[in-house]
Copies of this chain bind each other. A is one copy, B any other.
Amino acid sequence: MKLYTSYLSNAAYRVRIALDLKNLPYEPEYVLLSKDTGEDQSPEYLGINPLGMVPTLIDGHRVYRQSLSILEYLEDVYPVPSILPGSSRDRERIRSLSLVIATDIEPLTNFRIQAYMNDKLSLNDEQCAQWNRHWIHKGLQALEKLMEDNPATSSFCHGDLPTMADICLVSQVHGYEQQGWDLNQYPTVARIYQQCMNLSAFSSTAPQYQPDAQVQT
């Protein structure tokens, strides 16, 4: 397999964790994303991914382009170890927690949103920072509410092994922890984040250890 990845993309981080958890070897290709758009609009890369976004996964002759559907695909084809274990109800909860991150936080706070706010709306840095804090807090608070009193949440978001929900949680919370956010207001989220980061699949694949981060920062 080949993975088009970038240290700047939370979505690419999700796929790196999943591939590592499933012990699947892959060849990384580092995509140079514009810090303004979060995209690579070069003709070469658009030939591989017409949306210019990462991650892109190549498995055999097929191309896969959205992080959550890539995780589902990996689970379908390489089911052991599972990142969507249990019954239909278990899987629903795991997917539902994943989607709080993937639909309610990430799309509102990524590079392309920041760029639009600066360039098209002429918002100042404090207004952009307030926007980010608002949606990140709302999302993490939601995640905390859905986990804090739920007996199905244990060492990890759902049960005692890492799942797709932990992958999504770490891919998003990692950046906030690096920026010095106070995560203590979300104690369950913070505890699970630390638990995950004790595992090499989560820590060794982190953005700051990627070769493209070393070159560019």
Q: Which residues of A contact B (CB under 8 A)?
A: 50-51, 62, 64-66, 68-70, 72-73, 76-77, 88-89, 91-93, 95-96, 98-100, 102-104, 106-108, 113, 116, 120-121, 123, 127, 130-131, 134, 142, 145-146
Pairs across A and B, CB under 8 Å, 7 listed: A64-B92, A64-B96, A66-B100, A72-B92, A103-B106, A116-B134, A121-B127
Contacts of A108 in B (CB 8 A): 107-108, 113
Contacts of A92 in B (CB 8 A): 64, 69-70, 72-73, 76
Decide if B73 touches A145 in the complex (CB within 8 Å): no
Contacts of A121 in B (CB 8 A): 121, 123, 127, 131
> Given that A103-B106, A134-B116 are known contacts, is A145 also in contact with B50, CB under 8 Å in the complex?
yes
Further contacts, 15 of them, CB under 8 A, given A69-B93, A69-B95, A69-B99: A51-B145, A64-B92, A66-B100, A66-B103, A68-B95, A69-B96, A70-B92, A73-B88, A77-B88, A99-B102, A102-B103, A107-B107, A108-B108, A120-B130, A121-B123
Report copies per complex: 2
Decide if A62 touches B91 in the complex (CB within 8 Å): no
Contacts of A73 in B (CB 8 A): 88-89, 91-92
Report the Cα distance A133→B137, complex, angstroms: 27
Closest Cβ neighbor of A51 among chain B residues = B142
Contacts of A100 in B (CB 8 A): 66
Report the Cα distance A127→B92, complex, angstroms: 38
> Given that A96-B69, A120-B130 are known contacts, is A62 also in contact with B89, CB under 8 Å in the complex?
yes
